[in-house]
Structure 1
Amino acid sequence: MPNSISLNPWEWPESRWRARVNKVRAGKALKPSWPEGKLCAFAISFDVDHETNELRTGGRSLARLAWGQYGSRCGMPRVLELLRKYDVPASFYVPAVTAQLYPDQQRAIVDEGHEIGMHGWIHELNSELAAEDERSLMMRSADTLEKITSKRPTGIRTPSWDYSDTTLKIIREMQLTYDTSLMADDSCYELMEDGQKTGIVELPVEWIRDDATYLWMSPHEPLRPYASLDDVLAVFLREFEGAHRDADIFQLTLHPHVIGYRSRLWIVEELIRSAKAKGDVWFATHHQVAMRAASCL
């Protein structure tokens, strides 16, 4: 009989495919009541990748490094100004290398009442790392962010939402409160590992609630923005309206070097204006939402 490790997936015994599915899985849905009688939670986030998108593959393209620098020079000031204008807190997920390139920027984020969470060391892919390397980079990333901002991160968004077999184990070892890298539900949920409860809250992301899905461009691939800016806003608004109807969470993932252009940032402003007009929306960081969700564990 052939070794099960060498079998094709369609030849796997049930025990193997069940174990694979159960490695990291959604558990109990967490739908807390929101503070101050608010009906819906609005959690906006920014992945502050800057130059690390190119650095993680060797930094060969000086042009794409410049694109990353645009995120810091132009995108971030516009984003922070917009959040300040509407008094909206946000969560920023920052690779440790980005934090070291722009330490004053990270301190400004925290000083303005926003949250900084982990986003890898140099935007590496966890699934390509040896377990010991992944653990070392995650520990060093948390230490670096704490050293620069004087606050230790409580949550993580893995770079490119990439998960290895040991990612959740390391998150638990680090005693983080939440993760926001997976997409098994619209609502927050508890992460399960190998069928066991972990106590880790997941704030689910989704590609349709990510600016890069619609607006990313690659000079070396046939990848160009395919949706109009009005269409992007329409998708985000429909997602928000659905979350509001369900008295749930609306979560959005953005990137300063993607959304931070003069012609694009209005999408975020219109979305915030629409949510503010409801009068019953709680604007919160991901950490704040996770703490409310944790009360339902």
Structure 2
Amino acid sequence: MTTDRPWNTPEAEWRGLVRKVRAGRDLAPGTWPAGARCAFALSFDCDHETFELGQGRAAVGRLAWGEFGRRRGVPRILQLLARHDVRASFFVPAVSALIDPEALAPIIGAGHEIGVHGWIHENTSALDLETERDLLLRARETLETLSGTRPVGHRAANWDLSPNTIDLVAKAGFLYDSSMMADDACYELLSDGTPTGLVEIPVDWVRDDAVYFLFNREPATRPWMPPADVLDIFRREFDMAHDEGGLCQLVFHP
């Protein structure tokens, strides 16, 4: 696309880009299992040190910020989930897993899911096709080797997808993606108008803790919000899903 002057982009080009990945059939069930009124999902992106490494930066202080999530954040989350007997999904960059392979064991041992979250939390849209394919497959192979289970879920780092991402994820045999925002109900992803068989479990910035608490950027781009205010936003999101019999998925970054 003509990024410096997008108004000069030929119609065929922008139409092709818009058509490349679209929402297909609605997969919201008529009823939820066990008579539940709605579905509620907790997911955790374990970026840790790769938040810094994936941007090509080397600030030791920010690497330590990532290490805190590994040393204190995830263990506290696992304790909380165990206390309430809740299972969750943990999306892990491959390099994050390689830095401390033993950190996966408590997550897996508690019955939680491990999903692919890039190789080093890279921006996928900056990659050519072959590089993106290679990193996706290497990331899945690494997590499978370390966890003993092949991941079936994919979440793009920074929710940043190239026009090739969904095709690659579908062809690699993943069951679902969780990076997109075309609906607030689950839907099948289309590639160039063709059903992929890939389920999208949608996300949204308003249900992501990074919007409210992430200060490890240079320069800082957001004001800090009191946790009570964020809880109120998340509660209102859940209430709407409950009223409509829908889905509410929260995303956290330990």
Q: TM-score range by the shorter chain?
A: over 0.9
Counterpart in 2 of 1:118? 116
Counterpart in 1 of 2:20? 23
> Equivalents in 1 of 2:223, 2:3: separation in Å?
41
> Which residue, 93, 96, 99 being the options, matches 1:98?
96
> Equivalents in 1 of 2:203, 2:2: separation in Å?
32
> Equivalents in 1 of 2:56, 2:11: separation in Å?
41
Partner letter of residue 182 of structure 1? Answer: M
Computing the radius of gyration from Cα coordinates, the structure with the larger value is 1
> Which residue, 186, 189, 192 being the options, matches 1:191?
189
Is this contact kept in 2: 1:47–1:255, CA < 8 A? yes
Is this contact kept in 2: 1:218–1:224, CA < 8 A? no
Partner letter of residue 154 of structure 2? Answer: I
> Equivalents in 2 of 1:219, 1:166: separation in Å?
28
1:50-61 aligned at under 5 Å gives the runs: 50-61=48-59
CA spacing shift, 1:228–1:6, aligned 2, 3 Å: closer
Match of 1:45, SS state, is strand
Counterpart in 2 of 1:85? 83
Counterpart in 2 of 1:179? 177
TM-score when normalising by structure 1: 0.81
CA spacing shift, 1:7–1:16, aligned 2, 3 Å: farther
Calculate percent identity across the aligned residue pairs: 49
Match of 2:34, SS state, is helix
Equivalent residue pairs, number: 253
State the Cα distance separating 1:10 from its structure 2 match: 3.2
Partner letter of residue 124 of structure 1? Answer: E
> Equivalents in 2 of 1:7, 1:84: separation in Å?
50
State the Cα distance separating 1:17 from its structure 2 match: 2.7
Counterpart in 2 of 1:127? 125
> Equivalents in 2 of 1:187, 1:218: separation in Å?
31
Partner letter of residue 24 of structure 1? Answer: V
> Which residue, 60, 63, 66 being the options, matches 2:61?
63
> Equivalents in 1 of 2:218, 2:192: separation in Å?
40
Partner letter of residue 191 of structure 2? Answer: E
> Equivalents in 1 of 2:58, 2:33: separation in Å?
48
> Which residue, 148, 151, 167 being the options, matches 1:150?
148
Counterpart in 2 of 1:238? 236
> Equivalents in 2 of 1:158, 1:219: separation in Å?
19
The answer to whether residue 7 in structure 2 is matched with residue 10 in structure 1 is: yes
> Equivalents in 1 of 2:45, 2:2: separation in Å?
37
Is this contact kept in 1: 2:211–2:222, CA < 8 A? no
State the Cα distance separating 1:58 from its structure 2 match: 3.0
Structure 2 spans left out of the alignment, 5+ residues = none
The answer to whether residue 246 in structure 2 is matched with residue 248 in structure 1 is: yes
**RMSD (CA atoms):** 1.8
Partner letter of residue 253 of structure 2? Answer: H
> Equivalents in 2 of 1:168, 1:23: separation in Å?
9
1:196-235 aligned at under 5 Å gives the runs: 196-218=194-216, 220-235=218-233
14-23 or 63-72, which deviates more: 14-23
Match of 2:189, SS state, is strand
State the Cα distance separating 1:18 from its structure 2 match: 2.1
Is this contact kept in 1: 2:105–2:147, CA < 8 A? yes
CA spacing shift, 1:84–1:6, aligned 2, 3 Å: closer
CA-to-partner distance for each residue in 1:142-195, whole Å, 9 max, x for gaps? Answer: 101010110000010000001011111111111110000000111011101111
Counterpart in 2 of 1:277? none
